Structure formats: C-alpha cells, structure tokens
Amino acid sequence: MSIGHPALARRLGTADAVVIGLGSMIGAGIFAALGPAAHAAASGLLMGLAVAAVVAYCNATSSARLAARYPASGGTYVYGRMRLGDFWGYLAGWAFVVGKTASCAAMALTVGAYLWPEHANAVAVTAVVALTAVNYRGVQKSALLTRVIVVVVLAVLAMVVVISLSLGHADIGRLAIGADITVGGVLQAGGLLFFAFAGYARIATLGEEVRDPARTIPRAIPVALGITLVVYATVAVAVLAVLGSDRLGASRAPLADVVRVAGVAWLVPVVQIGAAIAALGSLLALVLGVSRTALAMARDHHLPHVLAAVHPRFKVPHRAELAVAVVVVVLTATVDVRGAIGFSSFGVLMYYGIANAAAWTLTPDEGRPARIVPVVGLAGCVVLAFALPPLSVIVGVAVIAIGALLYGLRQALTIRSSRSH
C-alpha cells in the first residue's frame, strides 16, 4: 500500500476472490477464442490449450507468491517496481493498462454483437456505462454481480457440453491429432487461448481489498485457474467432437453451431444470451483490474495524479474507473474486435513476463516458487507473444516502445528540473 494515500477497504474473502477470478476467465473468451485457435492449430487445438494452461499456471503461481508478499493494488506494476526497478514496474503497468483497456472495448463490442448486432456500438457504450456504475458503488457489489454472471455462464456451457455428448452427434475420432498441425500453429493457438485464461491477475490487482491477502490470494488464484482449465478442456473436447477442427476453425460462433448441429436450434438464442452475459462478466472484471492498476500508477505520478483519488464513502478509485470508462467508450467506435484481442494478448503476456522475472528474485523466506516456474513462465510468455498474428505483434511492440519512450522522457524532464533547482 502506498504511504500517504487513502486505503481501499479490505472486504473480499477467498470465495469472493475466486469468483472474481472465474468471472474474469470464464467469460467471452471461451465463446470466441476456440474458432480462431482451431484455425491456427487445426487438430492440435487441445495441444494449444495445454500450452496456454502451462504458461498460465506458471504465471498464476508467480503472481500468487508476489501478491502475498506485496498485497497492494496494482499487481505486477507494484511487483516489478519492488523487485526489478521502477522502469520494469512502469512497463508492466503500461502493458496491462493499454492492453486490457483494448480488451475492455473488445468485450463491450462482443456484448453488442450478440444482443443487437445492428446497434452493437450503442449497446457496447450502454454496457460500459452500466458496469462502471456498479463498480463505482463498491467492490462488494461487483463481486456479487460477478457471482451471478459466473453461475449463468457455467449453466450455458454445461448445457452445450451435455447436448454435444448425449445426442449422438459427437465423434471421438475427431479429437485425433492429424498431420495438419505445425509448431507455429499450436503456439499461436496457445497465445490466442491465453487471452481467455488471463483473468487471474484480477485477483492480484485487488490485493488491497482482500482480507488476509497473504493467505487468501495464493489460495484463490490456483483454485480459480484450476476450475477454469477443467471447464475449458471439457467444452473444447465437446465442441471438437461435434464440429471437428476444420469446421470449428471456420466458425465465428462455435458453441451456437454445436447446438444447431445437434438439432436443437431453438436453444441458439440461449447460447447467444449466455455469450453476452459472459462478455459482461469479463468487462466487469476488466474494468476493476485496469482501474486499480491505473490507481497505483497515478499514486506514483506515472499517470495523472488526479486518478489516485479514493471515494470517501464507497472506498473505490472512482476517478480511475471513470477515466477507464471514458477511454473504453471512445475505443468501441474505433477498435476492431479481433485486432483488440490479439493486441491485448501481446500486452498481457509482456505483463506476465515481468511478473515471472520478479518472482525469480524472491528468496525462499519470501515464498519463492520452484525455480522452474518463473523460468518456464517467462520463456512461455515471450514465445506465445511473438507467435501471435504478425499485425498484433507489430502493434504490440510499437505500443510497448511508445510506453518506454514516455518513461524516458519523463525521467529526463525530472532530472532537468532537479538540476535547474
């Protein structure tokens, strides 16, 4: 916690933290990412999912140990500063805020595309405004809404799995690995599917609002990740068994297509509504995480200091939340959903790469994970980031470089100012 700044209220227990993590991960990603991942990996889709899960596990373990050591809002922005230096912490925060703000826009547009395609942008703006109002009233209300959303989404996914495996349309032979896979395709699928796993960071970024964070965070992160992996693997197997990798790779709404193939087309609207609710859950948790990281960066003057304010009644970073909402509303009119997802994945993988590097520096007394964990995590983040579609990599590198340049300019101005005095 930053000294001299108003503290956020510690109101979240382990169950709340797990639910927020689930709401972040079991969201629109599972409805949208399977198709592009299958297109990249072909019959190696499940291998891509396994790669994403391994990297996510390493990242989650490193993040959990660091969050227990530094239970303040900001996540890897704080860990990087404390363990690697101010620049690396800033770069992590920059990658997270920029990447996840783009992801917020993608999730908002997903809501609009499912609920009212002809007016997707207007629906997206309405969703951002409504969820910002929920967050503004306090994190407990956000956790409660997230719990409802998680239950609904899990029910829809369970329905799809049961229909897929029980109506005679599934063919386990479609799960076989063929000659159509490549290492690059599997890695690109892993990078795209990582987008759907990345929500466990939300637990760490809420570290200042969790009760007994040294115990709660290390418990909540692996539990949320484990539940998510089981859900994703089950859904991926069911969808592959019905559609096969070729048809899945060409589908824009694979879960809806599964229901159609199974002969229960009347359930398609249920799946569409479930997808929209899932996107709302992701958007809710994303705004929570981005605003808390913006709060931490504003406290250290890496973002405008006015964003460091905490509401005297609701104990939330209200100005940071409003600022994030304004940016997301603007982006919904200008950002392409697929491009936003690819760029978001690049930024978040860079963020976790720094988290793994920070975890490497922990001592055994500080709860350091086994050395192989941050090593595999860091290497996996770099490999998956640069295996993403070329445009996502180019834009991602450019934006990270801009962030580094801004940091350098700020440092130069600070030095010049100190010398002039």
User: CB neighbours (10 Å) of residue 372?
Assistant: 9
Per DSSP, what are the bridge partners of residue 12?
210
40 alpha carbon, distance to own chain's centre = 21
Query: Residue 1's pLDDT is what?
Result: 42
- In angstroms, rounded to a whole number, what is the distance separating the alpha carbons of residues 271 and 156? 6
Q: What are phi and psi of 344, to 5 degrees?
A: -60, -45
Give the residue among 275, 278, 286 at the shortest CA–CA distance from 347.
286
- Tell me the two tokens of residue 343: 């760029």
pLDDT by residue (tens digit) across 167-204? 777 777 777 777 778 999 999 999 988 888 876 666 66
User: CB neighbours (10 Å) of residue 197?
Assistant: 27
- Which residues of the chain fall below pLDDT 70? 1-11, 24, 27, 72-74, 137-146, 199-209, 214, 421
User: CB neighbours (10 Å) of residue 182?
Assistant: 12
CB of 17 closer than 8 Å to CB of 220: yes
Query: Residue 185's pLDDT is what?
Result: 92
The domain over range 14-414 is classified in CATH as 3.40.50.300: no
Residue with tokens 């239950």: 151
On the CB side of 301, CA atoms within 13 Å amount to 3
Residue 126: exposed, middle, or buried by beta-carbon count in 10 A (0-12, 13-18, 19+)? Answer: middle
Give the residue among 280, 235, 274, 231 at the shortest CA–CA distance from 106.
280
Give the residue among 16, 25, 412, 409 at the shortest CA–CA distance from 209.
16
- In angstroms, rounded to a whole number, what is the distance separating the alpha carbons of residues 420 and 170? 73
Give the residue among 26, 105, 12 at the shortest CA–CA distance from 281.
26
Query: Residue 393's pLDDT is what?
Result: 93
